[in-house]
Amino acid sequence: MKRTRPRIMVIGGVEHEIIYASEFDGFVTNGGKERTIFINDLRGPRTVLDTGIHEALHASEPRMTEKRVVRIAKNVRNLLWKMGYRRPKGA
């Protein structure tokens, strides 16, 4: 069975549309009715993992500083990477 990437994620109780292969490495919109996370999935798997974590942090904690988001995303990415988490091929 082929696994599909999520198109909608609930983060902090709010639905976010996930758009892949954007011109941004990563970007989240937190205002208004439409909430969107853009993730460039053309980057390497470790970078995509980091970007997903990074943007989810922005979505769940919009007041968190960029410096703190970067630090936490890197720590979580490194832990998940060492645990063997990878995007399935074809997903």
Q: What does the pLDDT look like over 28-77, one tens digit per residue?
A: 887 777 799 999 988 889 999 999 999 999 999 999 999 999 999 999 99
* H or E segment and range at residue 11: strand 8-11
Confidence of residue 2 (pLDDT cuts 50, 70, 90): low
For residues 57 and 89, which has the higher predicted lDDT (pLDDT)?
A: 57
By C-alpha distance, which of 71, 8, 66 is closest to 37?
A: 8
pLDDT of residue 66: 96
80: left (phi over 0), alpha (psi -120 to 50) or beta: alpha
Q: Would you state the pLDDT for residue 3? A: 58
